[in-house]
Structure 1
Amino acid sequence: MTKPQTSRTMANVGRRLKALRLEARPRHTQAAVGMALGKSQDMISLFEKGGQLPTDGQLRKMLDLYGVDQATRIDLMAEIRGARESEAVWWAEYVADLPRSLVKLIEYEDSASQISIATGSLIPWPFQTLEYMRGVDEFAAHEVGVERLAVQHEVRARRQEIITRAERPASIDVLFSEAAIRPQVGGPEVMREQLARIVEIAQLPNVRLRVLPFSAGAAAATQLFLNIMDYPNPKDPGVAAIDTGTGVVFAEDPKEVRARRRMFDYLVRNALDPDDSVGLISAALKEL
């Protein structure tokens, strides 16, 4: 299985190749570039969509055709070589037991530098304890089976390591409704442990936590299961992942990603600040 950064790098390379073609004078069509390479227009389209990387020889011919300067050539070739590297990934052993959409989500998460998460009335996955997972997925245990669900919980726990891993820990911006901390999922003891865990993780320097209080009105009632993932390359528009309840839908078009950001920003404007959010959770913990 290839390195998770590869898919993002391929998409970035594709965007850069398309921009270079369109900026070239005279401008070249995909068909003309394909003819120059002895390939089809579909192959050039595949390169520009990030579906496949050109060989070094193909890349040189394209850059010659576009009249690209030496500095850009060196930078682009280095990016492509990085994308060709491969390494083992921790989730490879679980793939057979996971929905394909979840595997794709994990791949996107793993290479992200920042993840913005909104979960409505559910405790977000980076904070969930194992007992809370079991309580929340009570119905799913009957649908998918206890053994398969246990694997999914193990995977969810390993996903949480993205916050504390030694290399490339992601910054997490988390937002959820006060409705997530009030139900006694799994009973009072489970919720005491769960709320204490949220308070603990919220102290980490790369974690920002916000709660939408009931007083926020419609914003607090929004049922949204959203992840927005951003990457180190500033030109990468990011990816939005929306959990529909039956699977995960991905939005990669920049306009669609921006629309999800606007929704997240709307919720942020109606939420408590991080300190007050932790205070609300601490108060709820004392009430249990």
Structure 2
Amino acid sequence: MIRRRVLARQLKLLREQSGLTLEQAAPQLDFSVSKLSRVENAQVMIDVHWVKSMLDIYDAGGTRWNELLDLAREAQQPGWWRAFGLGNNSYIAFETEASRVQIFTLGYVPGLMQTADYARALMRAVPVRRTEEQLDNEVAARMYRQQRLSSADNPLELVAVIDESVLHRPVGGPDELRKQLDHLIALTGLDTVTLHVLPTAVGAHAALASGFSILHFGELDEPDMAYIEHTVGALMIDKAGEVSRARLAFERVLSDALDPAESQALIRRLAGG
């Protein structure tokens, strides 16, 4: 999904640099103006042949030609998550392309830090119809995502702030909570993971209404996105002003949170270690 957005942005820039308006370019591509607009907003998939036509019309050559054709091919490749029965518009499609994720959770351990049993217990608690196979696939996909935290080739940096109440909620039962706390401690040993606990004693804070994530895309030069998951669905946010508000809220909860060493000590104490 992000590759498609990057491609769309580059094609729009090339059209503008060529001096063509949407109304001028669309007929030359045998597109309607609305279709070309949807292409440039990454609302529709675009194949390599269309990209070649655009590059011809926009008089783009040299290294740009090969770079954009390669990007078009990459954008068409099915994501790994499809093997688990998940759609292309899921959060996972965006996280897969991110280089860093900042996340704050109020009620549960972040998905990137969950044990399989903890994840399964959470999913069973949500009133969403799933077959056992679908449940197994979603848990497996969540575990697969976590591999990037320890990947040498394609690492994902995670900065997580979790509300202290999460450490006391026995998702899956007391034994599973203890295993989950031990897992959190183990994850803090990874160079890619920074974990903070927001103490209950802080009281009211900047993100009391909901948890959220902010995704950063590094070398892809794609603008940051925010993601909010709620009881009846989820929302991806890419409007600059709203993402900035999310970024400010994260900075504020981070400033209220315990530092990593203090957070780890609290988790160890609660885990009985």
TM range (shorter): 0.7 to 0.9
Paired amino acid for 1:93: A
Q: Which residue of 2 aligns with 1:168?
A: 154
1:278 paired to 2:264? yes
1:21 paired to 2:15? yes
- Give the structure-2-normalised TM-score: 0.84
Change beyond 3 A, Cα 1:74–1:221: closer
Q: Which residue of 2 aligns with 1:60?
A: 55
SS at match of 2:222: coil
Change beyond 3 A, Cα 1:270–1:23: farther
Q: Deviations over 1:13-34 (max 9, x none)?
A: 222232343345xx43200112
Paired amino acid for 2:238: E
Q: Is the 8 A contact 2:113 2:187 kept in 1?
A: yes
Paired amino acid for 1:107: A
1:130 paired to 2:120? no
Change beyond 3 A, Cα 1:39–1:119: same
Structure 2 residue ranges without an equivalent (≥5): none
Q: Is the 8 A contact 2:109 2:166 kept in 1?
A: yes
Task: Quote the Cα distance in structure 1 between the aligned partners of 2:185 and 2:78.
Answer: 35
Q: Is the 8 A contact 1:63 1:73 kept in 2?
A: no
**In the alignment, which of 265, 268, 277 is matched to residue 254 of structure 2?**
268
SS at match of 1:144: coil
Q: Deviations over 1:210-250 (max 9, x none)?
A: 11112322128724232222223352013322111222211
Task: Quote the Cα distance in structure 1 between the aligned partners of 2:36 and 2:160.
Answer: 40
Q: Deviations over 1:145-188 (max 9, x none)?
A: 67244443333223322323453121111111111102333333
After the TM superposition, which residues 95-174 of structure 1 pair with which residues of structure 2 at under 5 Å, given as runs?
A: 95=85, 100=87, 104-137=90-123, 139-140=125-126, 144=129, 147=132, 148-174=134-160
Structure 1 residue ranges without an equivalent (≥5): 1-6
How many residues end up aligned between the 2 structures? 269
Q: Is the 8 A contact 2:95 2:215 kept in 1?
A: yes
Structure 1 runs (4+) greater than 4 angstroms displaced: 68-75
Q: Which residue of 2 aligns with 1:230?
A: 216
Paired amino acid for 2:117: E
SS at match of 1:123: coil
Q: Which moved more, 1:41-50 or 1:51-60?
A: 51-60
- Give the structure-1-normalised TM-score: 0.80
1:257 paired to 2:240? no
Percent identical: 25
Following TM superposition, by how much is the alpha carbon of 1:267 offset from its aligned partner in structure 2, in angstroms?
1.5
1:187 paired to 2:181? no
Paired amino acid for 1:157: M
Q: Which residue of 1 aligns with 2:82?
A: 92
Q: Is the 8 A contact 2:185 2:267 kept in 1?
A: yes
Question: What RMSD in Å do the two structures reach over aligned CA positions?
Answer: 2.9
Change beyond 3 A, Cα 1:146–1:35: closer
**In the alignment, which of 233, 242, 261 is matched to residue 247 of structure 1?**
233
Change beyond 3 A, Cα 1:187–1:244: closer
Q: Is the 8 A contact 1:212 1:220 kept in 2?
A: no
SS at match of 1:55: helix
Q: Is the 8 A contact 2:161 2:195 kept in 1?
A: yes
Following TM superposition, by how much is the alpha carbon of 1:78 offset from its aligned partner in structure 2, in angstroms?
4.3
Q: Which residue of 2 aligns with 1:8?
A: 2
